[in-house]
Amino acid sequence: MKLSIWSSYYIDFSPEDAILEIAKNGWQYTELSDEHGAMLLQRGSAEKVGAQFGRFALDHGVNPMQGHLWLGVPLCDPDEERIVSIMKNWLDLFCATGMKTGVLHCDAHSFPEGTSTEQKAEKNVSVLRRLTDHLKGTDFTICLENLLVPKNCAPVVDSVEQIQRIIALHGGDHLGICLDTGHLNLTDRDQAGFIRKAGSHLKALHIADNDTSGDQHLMPFGKGNVDFTAVWKALKEIGYDGLYNLEIPGERLCPPEIRGWKLDYLKKSLEYLNESV
């Protein structure tokens, strides 16, 4: 596995300066956050800007292998053409950087009240097919993340089984799974079970902790209660070789120097896991 830090850990920096901070602290991989992705898209051509950013990152020893697509995308908005056009631009940006995976949230909200889970799944699949058709000829994978869904809202991807159902309905090309450990800790909490069921479909991770009182996005081995030893063991069992990407905005409310020290601690704690499991 490749240790990675979400670029939004340095949300107060430009995309390039975030890369420099990540490199300064000795990390070689990052997931480009949706905020930094939006900043890049504001600069002009997705392909040109993406290629420039990808070269900049690699020139400074950081590989942005993964990115988070538009976080709040209303994927099943009635104005489908507008949404698909925007998302194709995001995909062009990410592919141009050299990324291999992009995390995406399916849509449980852009529907009339009373819409069933099955109807929502079918509509998400219809839009996903248009996005994956755009990816033909690439090796890019859209990874569907397990999400938290408010009460009284029919879920779409709050479990590994539901995500696998989406993938099966779609056909599977260019689709994978992203496990968010923080989200799962607020639902069924069986991290190892999710990982084993996902198997080879698991292509991305959002590693975060919480104490089950909310989605706190804390670092492992702190105040939360996710069993990261069980997570690491299950990942090794299935042969997961993607990014072990830390999505920990709950840890960034401090000066950059202290954030760097936290990254040093995280390196040591993950070295411990690798040696002990």
Residue 70 has pLDDT above 80, yes or no: yes
What confidence tier does 165 reach under pLDDT thresholds 50, 70, 90?
very high
Taking all residues of the chain, what is their mean pLDDT, rounded to a whole number? Answer: 96
Q: Do 78 and 109 touch, CB atoms closer than 8 A?
A: no
pLDDT value of residue 100? 96
Q: Which CATH architecture has domain 2-276?
A: Alpha-Beta Barrel (3.20)
Each residue of 50-67: pLDDT tens digit? 999 999 999 999 999 999
Q: What are the CA-CA distances from residue 48 to residues 7, 41, 95, 102, 136 (Å)? A: 20, 10, 11, 18, 20
Q: Cα 120 from chain centroid? A: 21
pLDDT of residue 152 exceeding 80? no
Angstrom distance (rounded) from CA 122 to CA 125: 5
Lowest mean pLDDT among 39-48, 151-160, 172-181, 210-219: 151-160
Residue type, 216: Q
The pLDDT of residue 61? 98
**d(Cα 50, Cα 68) in Å, to the nearest integer?**
14
Helix (H, G, I), strand (E, B) or coil at 252: coil
What is the secondary structure of 125-178 as a DSSP string?
Answer: HHHHHHHHHHTTTS--EEEEEP----TTS--SSSSHHHHHHHHHHH--TTEEEE
Q: Where are the domains of the chain?
A: 2-276
Supply the pLDDT for residue 154: 80
The angle, 0 to 180 degrees and rounded to 10, between the axes of the packed helices 34-41 and 46-59 is: 120
Burial class (CB in 10 A: 0-12, 13-18, 19+), 254: exposed
**Distance (Å, whole) CA 275 – CA 232:** 11
Find out whether 250 and 214 touch, Cβ atoms under 8 Å.
Answer: no
Each residue of 17-38: pLDDT tens digit?
A: 999 999 999 999 999 999 999 9
d(CA 262, CA 251): 8
Mean pLDDT of all residues in 131-150: 95
| Helix, strand, coil share of the chain (percent; to 5) | 50, 15, 35
- The answer to whether the beta carbons of residues 204 and 167 sit under 8 Å apart is no
Read off the pLDDT band of 141 (50, 70, 90): very high
| Residue 277 pLDDT | 84
pLDDT above 70 covers a percentage of the chain that reads 100
Q: What's the CA gap between 18 and 214, in Å, rounded?
A: 27
